A and B are shown apart, each in its own frame.
Chain A
Amino acid sequence: MGSNEFIGDRVIEVLRNSDFDDFADQIEDAIKNLKSKDINTRMEAVEFILGMCHARALGDLSVPPLNGNDWYKMLEKLAAYAKSKS
């Protein structure tokens, strides 16, 4: 498991700590689907994560004590990880 794979866990943890359980569940499911052998399932998960890791989507959430820029950097890493699975 590469270090980038842990970024999903960190993002989910931040979301749960800020009571964004719905988003955490959605990201958790999508990350699981990134490992699917079915290309369609995998691509759908990639697209979903890339959409969520947008400055105006999850990037616009308030997730104290994280600074918004630090939070976005985490999302950027998650997006890069998802893209690597496409």
Chain B
Amino acid sequence: MVGMAPILGEVADFANAGISVARGDYEGAALSMAAMVPFVGNAAGAAKIARSADKAIDAIPLKNNSARKLLMARGATPKQAREVVSSFDGQIYATKGKAGDVFTITETKPGSASGMFVTRGSAGATPAERIQNLALPMSNTARVQGSATLTKPQVLLEGRVASQVGNRGFGPNATGGGWQVVTDAFNGGIRR
């Protein structure tokens, strides 16, 4: 468990700073996540992010560096981890993914995407909307919305999608603003 210390330390630091977490929800939320999975299991701070009118999800705000470390612990290269983290706009949250949780994959053709980047439900009514909301690269036409299921408990990274306008490989409509979830797809964490 020593390996998780930097991430936990930073999560705890974040929590101690008292940012965005109401004291009353702290312990309950933290306890509910305590049995989660490595990296978040002992975290001291938690929040709730509302994903719909009637549903809130326990979440721990992460520093970008902590998110990068988590991704690298999963086998990502530093550059890969940076690119994933920079696809988020603002706060990244760690949430609890359970085996059996179902997500939406937006892709060019059925089965073309890895499942690393998913959403909670549709990211838009049309391919153009999905490209815009998810700031998809030109290589993803967003014509297909598939579903995929988590195969194991895991930490998910969630947050708002950053604009990629002006970046190589992205079109002028890749403005972002949608909500994305990053799974542990590269270690068999999700299947169709």
Contacts and interface: CB of A to CB of B under 8 A. Distances in A.
Given A62-B112, A68-B186, A69-B76, A55 B140 contact: no
B75 A69 contact: yes
Given A51-B168, A51-B170, A69-B75, A56 B186 contact: no
Interface stretch (B16-24, B80-88, B121-129): B80-88
A84 interface: no
Contact of A62 (B80, B115, B136): B115
Contacts of A20: 112
A56 B112 contact: no
Given A52-B169, A68-B114, A23 B79 contact: no
B91 interface: no
A79 B42 CA distance: 38
Q: DSSP majority for the A interface?
A: helix
Secondary structure class of chain B's binding surface, majority of residues:
loop
A52 B138 CA distance: 9
B137 A54 contact: yes
B114 A61 contact: yes
Contacts of B168: 47-48, 50-51, 54
A11 interface: no
B52 interface: no
B140 A57 contact: yes
Contacts of A56: 83-84, 87, 117, 136-137, 140, 164
A72 B76 contact: yes
Nearest to B174: A56
Interface string A39-76: 00000000110111011111111100001110011001
Nearest to B111: A62
A68 B116 CA distance: 9
A64 to B, nearest CB: 10
Interface of A: 20, 23, 47-48, 50-52, 54-62, 67-69, 72-73, 76
